[in-house]
A = this chain, B = another copy of it.
Amino acid sequence: MSTLPPPPDLASAKADYDALVAQGITLNLTRGKPSSEQLDLSVELLSLPGADFKAADGTDTRNYGGLRGLPELREIFAGELGVPVDQLIAAGNSSLELMHDTVVNALLSPVPGASRRWLDEPRVAFLAPVPGYDRHFTVCERLGVELVPVPITPDGPDMDVVERLVAEDASVKGIWCVPKYSNPTGAVYSDETVRRLATMPTAAPDFRIMWDNAYAVHHLTETPARIADILPLAAEAGNADRPLVFGSTSKITVAGGGVGFLGASEANLAWWLKRLEARTIGPDKVNQLRHARFLGDAAGLAAHMEKHRRLIAPKFAAVQRVLAENFADTPGVTWSEPTGGYFITLIVPDGLASEVVRLAKAAGIALTPAGATHPYGKDPQDAVIRLAPTFPPLAQVEGAIAGVAVCLRLALASSGLPVGA
């Protein structure tokens, strides 16, 4: 800090907040949804495939079958997901359901390497890097899997903590990871983090890494982040069955009508398909063909994501600008500067996050509930606020973050903490 913060001015902070409330706005920064303009980038998809419904190998995509999904679509995504085509499954419209069902399947039938199904274990726990993704946590909460928080750093989970916990406790069966542009901090796992995850000794022989590469191609800068490929690293270390890789086109094409992916070792896939074949006669291959035709190839995918970048990068920049203008010198207030993904994490002094969210709500600005980034909805420091700027138009993002700044300034002033800038 180049200057000391000015003394807090409660009266002016209160006046600013009253003025904000008087505007009667309704704005929303809650969820990581693509905007209409982003969805418009894929409007061609909505008329595909038309009368040419044959896959590259001649398969009639309209009929039953093809449990692993359409090869030409898997080929487009294999590189960016770091999974060989023949180890990658293309499924339905949701990668979350693939993660959920992975836990369900592990509860009901032993995963490769397990001596028994997880239901028969006295305790099953997953490590949850925090702040993290609320829907990951909900999967575990609903299915009776305990969550153990682990701090996340800009390089990924704190690996000293992770290595200690997995080494000493065989009931720790998994870890949630969003390795690139993590939700919500934007962390990009370093090569060293990926290597340690792939190679670390675990007390549980059936330990699984839930590798949710949700933002594999969702860059915000002209220099895309690269992460190490975990499947080969794990295989080289003798832990081939450890990683389960997930991906999705939901934030690439259309959010509700995309395609989810699962990549894993052949043993894991055989285990997965054994369950899947009792459940379905095959995925929606027409939708997979639609996607393959629309994206074309990996280069087409990259070009398409560049169009997304041009639409959303200005929104992220607006949030950064407003936060910097207001809180550059405010002790205890920091925020992530992600180079990809869908979120910015705003850290406020302990105990203020829920107050900021409350003030914002009363002023018509919906924020993700404080605590949502932590297991069981409890942020022990009450310090993390997740900002999701993609969905509203740019002007609304600017209005919303300006409003959040007013709320945070009031919360700081009311608490007697210094308000910067």
| A interface residues with partner B (beta carbon < 8 Å) | 31, 33-34, 36, 39, 42-43, 46-51, 53, 60-66, 92-94, 96-97, 100-101, 104, 107-108, 119, 135, 138-139, 141-143, 250, 254-257, 274-275, 278-287
By a CB distance below 8 angstroms, the chain B residues around A138 are 278
- The residue of chain B having its C-beta at the shortest distance from the C-beta of A64 within the complex is B255
Known: A93-B283, A96-B281, A256-B282. 9 other contacts (CB 8 A): A39-B62, A43-B51, A46-B50, A46-B62, A61-B257, A63-B256, A97-B279, A135-B278, A138-B278
B256 x A31 contact (CB < 8 A): no
- The residue of chain B having its C-beta at the shortest distance from the C-beta of A39 within the complex is B62
Q: This chain: how many copies in the complex?
A: 2
B278 x A93 contact (CB < 8 A): no
- The residue of chain B having its C-beta at the shortest distance from the C-beta of A282 within the complex is B256
Bound-state Cα–Cα, A60 to B38, Å: 12
By a CB distance below 8 angstroms, the chain B residues around A287 are 257, 284, 287
Bound-state Cα–Cα, A46 to B42, Å: 16
A256 x B39 contact (CB < 8 A): no
By a CB distance below 8 angstroms, the chain B residues around A257 are 61-62, 284-287
Q: Given A92-B92, A256-B285, A257-B284, A279–B101 Cβ distance below 8 Å? A: yes
A320 to chain B, nearest CB (A): 25
B92 x A284 contact (CB < 8 A): yes
Contacting residue for A104 out of B33, B50, B108, CB 8 A:
B108
Bound-state Cα–Cα, A139 to B119, Å: 19
Contacting residue for A50 out of B47, B65, B286, CB 8 A:
B47
Residue from A34, A97, A138, A250 with most neighbouring chain B CB atoms (10 Å):
A97
- The residue of chain B having its C-beta at the shortest distance from the C-beta of A285 within the complex is B256
A284 x B64 contact (CB < 8 A): no
By a CB distance below 8 angstroms, the chain B residues around A284 are 92-93, 256-257, 284, 287
Bound-state Cα–Cα, A49 to B278, Å: 31
By a CB distance below 8 angstroms, the chain B residues around A141 are 278
